[in-house]
Amino acid sequence: MSDLLEILAAVRQDAEMRSAAEFRECRTPPRPDGADGVRAEFGALAEGGLRPALERRRANRFFAERTVDPELLAAMIRAGHAADAALWPAEQARPLEFLVVARAVTGLGPAVHRLGPDGFEPLTAISGTDELSTLVLQPEFAHAPALLLAIGSLEDALEGGGSHGHRRLLERSGAACEAAWLTAVDAGLAGSIFAGFLPSALKRLVGIDGFRRTQLLALAVGHAIDASGEYGGASANG
């Protein structure tokens, strides 16, 4: 037993030392020549809008029947990438990917979309709320106007850092979704980070196999319903 405890202690000590080293490396401030680009991607949040957005942020599970602007969704994706680049510059050879599941987005049909150079591109259609409710892990989020999915490569993460690489990948997705969420809040919307889609559904819809590409987190976004009417009350955004 004592031998086993010594081995476990040694493994833990090694993991903690490697984690601390990678923590320092990943949080090295980005070069000054890239700072303006990061600030630009964060928009108003980088100019003093962060504190008000944090104060207004609430986790909303239910949303009003109002459409969402696709330009805001694009800004949320850019904010997610900017956060990832600022916090983990050494990981940008393995970038995160974002998909948007549109249910009520101005100008977009109900489908899974990818943001391309010319705007959002549909990957596969979704019939509507009824189908979405069978695909997400929490059915209430099928009623959100839009869902943002953070995708990464578990294969690359494990190759680059073993189990620690997987943990770091999860950290990256959390920071990216938080940046996207705050961008939505700053624009007057609400949201909630949640577990996302059933893995089998994503594999069938867009070929995400859970290893080469895997869903990490999801963010539901829309116009909030106030707390007193969360189960069918008025929109908190007017």
What pLDDT does residue 52 have? 72
Number of residues written out for the chain: 238
All structural domains of the chain: 31-229 (3.40.109.10)
- The number of helices, as runs of H, and strands, as runs of E, in the chain is 7, 6
Q: 160: pLDDT confidence band, cut at 50, 70 and 90? A: confident
Q: 42: pLDDT confidence band, cut at 50, 70 and 90?
A: low
pLDDT tens readout for residues 133-154? 999 999 999 999 999 999 999 9
Contacts of 233 (CB under 8 A, 6+ apart): 225, 226
Top pLDDT among 170 and 15 is at 170
The continuous run of DSSP H or E covering 120 comes out as strand 119-125
Question: What was the pLDDT predicted at 41?
Answer: 56
Contact 166, 157 (CB under 8 A): yes
Of residues 233 and 174, more confidently modeled: 174
Single out the residue of 41, 51, 76 nearest to residue 222, CA to CA: 76
Cβ–Cβ under 8 Å, residues 190 and 223: yes
Q: Which residues contact 109 (CB under 8 A, 6 or more apart)?
A: 102, 122, 125
Per-residue pLDDT tens over the stretch 17-34: 555 555 455 444 444 444
pTM: 0.76
* Structure-token pair, residue 49: 């809008």
Output 144 or 36, whichever has higher pLDDT.
144
Per-residue confidence (pLDDT) for residue 59, from 0 to 100: 77
Contact 24, 89 (CB under 8 A): no
Task: Return the structure tokens found at 232.
Answer: 């069918």
Strand 97-102 with 146-152, pairing: antiparallel
Inform me whether the pLDDT recorded for 199 exceeds 70: yes
